[in-house]
Amino acid sequence: MLQNNHTINVKNEVMRFLHVGLLCAQEVPTLRPSMSKALQMFVKKDEELPPPTKPPFVDEKTMQLHVLSLEQGDSATTANLSHSSFYPR
Please write the tens of the pLDDT for every residue from 48-57: 999 988 766 6
Percent of the chain residues topping a pLDDT of 70: 65
- Residues linked to residue 58 through DSSP beta bridges, in sequence order: 65
Residue 76 has pLDDT above 90, yes or no: no
Rg (Cα) of the chain, in Å, rounded? 18
Question: Stretch 18-25: mean pLDDT, rounded?
Answer: 92
In sequence order, what are the residues at sequence separation of 6 or more whose Cβ sits closer than 8 angstroms to the Cβ of residue 20? Answer: 33, 38, 41, 42, 49
The residue among 64, 37, 62, 63 whose CA lies nearest residue 50 is 37
Inter-helix orientation angle 35-43/2-24, to 10°: 170
> Residues, the chain, total?
89
Question: Stretch 61-87: mean pLDDT, rounded?
Answer: 59
The reported pTM is 0.57
Calpha distance 24→38 (Å, rounded): 8
- pLDDT, residue 71, reads 47
